[in-house]
Structure 1
Amino acid sequence: MNYKDLTLSLFLLFPVLSQACASEKITEDIHVSQPQTKEGNIYHVGSIEQFNMLKLQPGDKVIFKKGVWKDQQINIKANGTKDKPILITVEKAGETVFSGNSNLKIDGSWLVVDGFVFKDGFSEKADVILFTKNASNSRLTNSVIFDYNPSDKTRDYKWVSLNGENNRVDHCDFTGKTHQGTTLVVWLDEKPNYHKIDYNYFGPRPALGVNGGETIRIGTSTWSMHDSYTTVENNVFDKCDGEMEIISIKSGHNIINNNLFYECNGTVTFRHGNFNTVSNNYMIGNGKKSTGGIRVIGENHKVFGNYLQGLDGNGLRAAIAVMNALEKPQLHEYFQVIDAQIYDNIIVDSKEAINLGSGKNETRVLAPKGGFLKNNYVINTRTLLKVEDEPQGMLIENNQADASQLPAGFIKMGTDLIKSDDIWQKKSNIRVPFWKNVKIGPEWGSTKNF
Structure 2
Amino acid sequence: MIKYWILTICAFFAFQLSFGKVYKVATQEEFSKAAAVILPGDEIVIANGNYTGWSVAINSNGTATKPIIVMAESAGKVVFTGEVRRAILKLTGSYIQLKGLKFDGCQLLKTKGEDVVLIQLEAAKYCRLTNCVFTKNTVDTQFMPIVVISGNGDHNRVDNCRFTGNFNNQELQVKVTGTEVSLYTLIDHNTFMDKDSVTWKGNNGGECVQIGQDPILLGNRYSYATVRDNRFIRCNGEPEVISNKSSGNKYINNYFENCNGELVMRGGHECLIDSNTFAGGTGGIRVNGTMHTITNNSFKGLPIAIRLMYGMAKGKIDTGFYIAASDCVVKNNRISHCSTGILIGGSKNADWTGKFDTKRYPSRAI
User: What is the TM-score of this pair, normalised by structure 2?
Assistant: 0.82
Corresponding residue for residue 199 of structure 1 = 189
* CA–CA separation in structure 2 for the residues paired with 1:118 and 1:264: 24
TM-superposed deviation, 1:39? 3.6
Aligned position for 1:219:
212
CA–CA distance in structure 1, aligned partners of residues 23 and 74 of structure 2: 15
Deviations 1:258-280 (A, max 9, x none): 01001011111111111001110
Of the three residues 85, 99, 102, the one matched with 2:67 is: 85
Query: Is 1:348 aligned to 2:330, yes or no?
Result: no
Is the 8 Å Cα contact of residues 174 and 182 (structure 2) preserved in structure 1? no
| Amino acid paired to 1:75 | A
Residue 52 of structure 1: SS of its match in structure 2?
helix
Q: State the one-letter code of the partner of 1:146.
A: T
Q: CA deviation digits over 1:26-50, x for unaligned, max 9?
A: xxxxxxxx99551421111121111
1:360 corresponds, among 348, 353, 357, to 348
Do 1:280 and 1:305's aligned partners in 2 also have CA atoms closer than 8 Å?
yes
Q: What SS does the aligned partner of 1:295 have? A: strand
Q: CA 1:82 to 1:319, structure 2 compared with 1: closer, same or farther past 3 Å?
A: same
Residue of structure 1 in register with 2:262 after alignment: 267
For the 8 Å contact 1:260–1:281, the answer to whether it is kept is yes
The corresponding residue for 1:52 is: 32
Structure 1 pair 82/92, CA: closer, same or farther in 2 (3 Å)?
same
Deviation of the 1:84 alpha carbon: 1.3
Equivalent pair of 1:35/1:41 in contact (CA under 8 Å): no
Contact 1:226/1:251 (<8 A) preserved: yes
Tell me, yes or no, if structure 1 residue 42 matches structure 2 residue 22.
Answer: yes
What is the CA distance between 1:119 and its match in structure 2? Answer: 0.7
Aligned: 1:324 with 2:310: yes
Q: Kindly indicate whether structure 1 or structure 2 has the higher relative contact order, using CA contacts under 8 Å at least 6 residues apart.
A: 1
- Tell me the amino acid that sits aligned with residue 220 of structure 2: M
| Deviation of the 1:322 alpha carbon | 0.7
8 Å contact 2:313–2:320 — kept in the other structure? no
1:298 to 281, 286, 289: 289
- The whole-number CA distance in structure 2 between the counterparts of 1:77 and 1:52 is 11
Change (3 A) 1:90 1:301: same
Q: Which has the higher strand share?
A: 2
Gapped regions of structure 1 (runs ≥ 5) = 1-33, 365-450
Kindly, what percent of the aligned residue pairs are identical? 35
Is residue 116–residue 144 contact of structure 1 (8 Å, CA) maintained in 2?
Answer: yes
Match of 2:102 among 104, 112, 117: 117
Contact kept in structure 1, 2:312 and 2:320, CA below 8 Å: no
Equivalent position SS for 1:166: coil
| SS of residue in 2 equivalent to 1:161 | strand
Match for 2:119 among 129, 139, 156?
Answer: 129
Conservation of the 8 A alpha-carbon contact between 1:173 and 1:200: yes
Shift of the 327–69 alpha-carbon distance from structure 1 to 2, 3 Å rule, reads: closer
Q: CA deviation at 1:202?
A: 0.6
Matching residue of 1:107: 92
Q: What SS does structure 1 have at the residue aligned with 2:266? A: strand
Kindly indicate whether the alpha-carbon contact (under 8 Å) linking 1:192 and 1:227 is maintained by their aligned counterparts in 2: no
Give per-residue Cα distances to partners, 1:408-441, cap 9 Å, x unaligned.
xxxxxxxxxxxxxxxxxxxxxxxxxxxxxxxxxx
Q: Which residue of 1 aligns with 2:356?
A: none
Contact 1:270 / 1:295 at 8 angstroms: preserved in 2? yes
For 1:129-173, what per-residue CA distance to the aligned partner results, in whole angstroms no more than 9, with x for missing partners?
11112x1110000001100125x4x45421111122110000001
Offset at 1:301? 0.3
> CA–CA distance in 1 between the matches of 2:23 and 2:350?
64
Q: Which residue of 2 aligns with 1:430?
A: none
In the TM superposition, residue 332 of structure 1 has moved relative to its aligned partner by 6.2
Write out aligned runs for 1:8-407 (5 A). Answer: 38-54=18-34, 55-102=37-84, 103-125=88-110, 126-133=116-123, 135-150=124-139, 152=140, 154-163=141-150, 164-179=153-168, 181-188=169-176, 189-190=179-180, 193-209=183-199, 210-221=203-214, 222-285=217-280, 288=281, 291-311=282-302, 313=303, 318-327=304-313, 331=319, 333-361=321-349
Q: Distance in 2 between matches of 1:349 and 1:232?
A: 26
Q: Deviations over 1:170-196 (max 9, x none)?
A: 0001112212x4211111255661000
AA matched with 1:321: R
Letter matched to residue 71 of structure 1: G
Partner of 1:367: none
Q: Which residue does the alignment assign to 1:447?
A: none
Distance of 1:346 and 1:242 partners within structure 2: 26
AA matched with 1:292: G
SS in 1 for 2:32: helix
Unaligned runs of 5+ in 2: 1-13, 111-115, 353-366
Aligned residue number for residue 361 of structure 2: none
State the superposition RMSD in angstroms.
2.1
Deviation at 1:345, TM superposition (A): 0.4
Tell me how far apart the structure 1 counterparts of residues 135 and 351 of structure 2 sit (CA, whole Å).
42
Structure 2 counterpart of 1:214, one-letter code = E
Aligned mates of 2:67, 2:343 — CA distance in 1 = 49
Q: Call closer, same or farther: CA 1:331–1:187 in 2, change over 3 Å.
A: farther
Report the AA paired with residue 336 of structure 1. Answer: A
Q: Is the 8 A contact 1:39 1:58 kept in 2?
A: no
Partner of 1:391: none
Describe the superposition over 1:209-237 as per-residue Cα deviations: whole angstroms up to 9, x where unpaired: 52111111101223211001000000000
Q: Match for 1:177: what amino acid?
A: N
SS in 2 for 1:183: strand
